[in-house]
Amino acid sequence: MSSAKPTRGIRLSLPATSANLGPGFDAAALAMSMHLTVEAHPAPTFLLDATGRNADLCAALDNNLILDTYRGVLERAGKPVTPLHLKLHNEIPLGMGCGSSAAALLAGVALADHFGALNLGDSGVLNEANRLEGHPDNVAACWLGGFTVSAEDNGEVLTATYPGDPAWQILLAMQTSSLATKKARALLPATYSKADAIFNVQRASLLVSAFAQSRLDLLRTAMQDRIHQPYRAEACPLLKQLMPLAVEPELAGIALSGAGPSVLIFLTESTTPLAAETRLRAVLDPAVEILSLRIAPGATTTLL
C-alpha cells in the first residue's frame, strides 16, 4: 500500500524571501508576504496554467525550474515521474532578489516528495533544496518562515528561526530591470580585510539579536555591510539612491534584498507606509515599483 502512487492533489503556498539583510551574507533571510501558489494533480501529460507576475515565463513547460526540479528529485530517488497538471499563481518578481528561485526549487522538491512518496520531512526538503540552490538562506526562510539564520554542515542544513514581529512594516523598492544572481556574485572580491570581516561579524550578530528580541531600534546599525553591498552598488542603482536615507529617523534600516537589485526598507514604529513611500518617491524614478509588505510565515501544504 505504501508504494502506491498518491492520487490526491496538493496545494503549496511559498513566500518570497529576502536574503543577506545587510551583513548576513548567505546566512540570514526573511520571509515576505508575497507568495507562489502551486496546485498540482496527476494528469496524463504535463500541463501548466499560470497567472500573476511573469505569467508567461512561469507557464513555460521547457526550462521550468519547478518541473525540472520535480523530475530531477524523482529520478535521483529512482522513482517514476508522474505527469502533473499545475496551476500556478505567482506574486514573486523574478530576478529581483526576492527568492523566486528558492520558492520554485522548494515547490519542485515538495511536489516530488508528495507524488513520489519520498517522506523527506522538513529537514529532507531543506537539504535537497539547499543542494540544488547552493546555499541555505533563502530556502530555509521560504520553507520555515519568519527570520532564519542557517549554516551548512557536511551537507546538512542547520537553521534557527524566529517568527518576527508582525507589526514591523517593510517597503520593497524594485527597479524595472532584473539582475541575475550569477552576475551579482561575480562582482564580489576574492578576499576581504580583517577590519571588514570584524565589522560584519559584529553587525550580523546584532542582526540576529534584533529579530530575536524584536529590537527594531537596532536595525539601522545591524543592517550595515561591507562584504557584498559596496561591490554590488554599481549594478544596483536603487541601493546607491536609497542608502543616504538610512540615517533618517523615519527609516529603521535599509539593505539590498538578496543579491539585488531590489532594496528592502524597514520603517520605524512612528512611520506609515504612505509617509515613507512619499519620502522615497522624492529621490526615485517614477517607474520604480514600491510594495508594502510584512514578515510572513513559512510554506504551507494542503491535500486536495
Residue 20's pLDDT is what?
A: 96
Residue 176's pLDDT is what?
A: 86
pLDDT digits (tens, 9 = 90+) for 4-39: 667 799 999 999 999 999 999 999 999 999 999 999
Tell me the residue ranges of DSSP E strands in the chain: 10-20, 24-42, 47-52, 84-90, 147-153, 156-162, 170-174, 251-256, 263-267, 289-293, 300-303
- From CA 111, how far away is CA 129, in angstroms rounded? 12
pLDDT digits (tens, 9 = 90+) for 233-290: 888 999 999 999 999 999 999 999 998 899 999 999 999 999 999 999 999 999 999 9
CATH superfamily membership of 170-293: GHMP kinase, C-terminal domain (3.30.70.890)
Cell for 192? 576581504
Check whether 135 has a pLDDT greater than 60.
yes
Residue 22's pLDDT is what?
A: 96
Residues 6 or more apart whose CB falls under 8 angstroms from that of 70 comprise: 81, 84, 108, 109, 111, 112, 115
- State the virtual CA torsion across 52, 115, 65, 292 in degrees, nearest 10: 40
Cell for 53? 507576475
pLDDT digits (tens, 9 = 90+) for 51-64: 999 999 999 999 99
Q: In what order do the strands lie in the sheet with 251-256?
A: 251-256, 263-267, 170-174, 289-293
Phi, psi of 13 (to 5 degrees): -130, 120
Percent of the chain with pLDDT over 70: 98
- From CA 60, how far away is CA 56, in angstroms rounded? 7
pLDDT mean over 146-172: 94
Check whether 3 has a pLDDT greater than 70.
no
Buried b (16+ CB within 10 A) or exposed e, 134-165: ebbbbbbbbbbbbbbbbebeeeebebebbbbb
Residue 35's pLDDT is what?
A: 98
Beta strand pairing call for 47-52 and 84-90 = parallel
Closest listed residue to residue 171, CA positions, set 269, 282, 254, 260: 254
Query: Structural domain boundaries of the chain?
Result: 10-163+296-303, 170-293
CATH 3.40.1350.10 is held by the domain 10-163+296-303: no
pLDDT digits (tens, 9 = 90+) for 32-91: 999 999 999 999 999 999 999 999 999 999 999 999 999 999 999 999 999 999 999 999
Neighbour tally for 241: CB within 10 Å: 18
Residue 296, judged by CB atoms within 10 A of its CB (0-12, 13-18, 19+), counts as: buried
Check whether 1 has a pLDDT greater than 50.
no
What would you report as the CA-atom Rg of the chain, rounded to the nearest whole angstrom? 19
Closest listed residue to residue 279, CA positions, set 235, 240, 249: 249
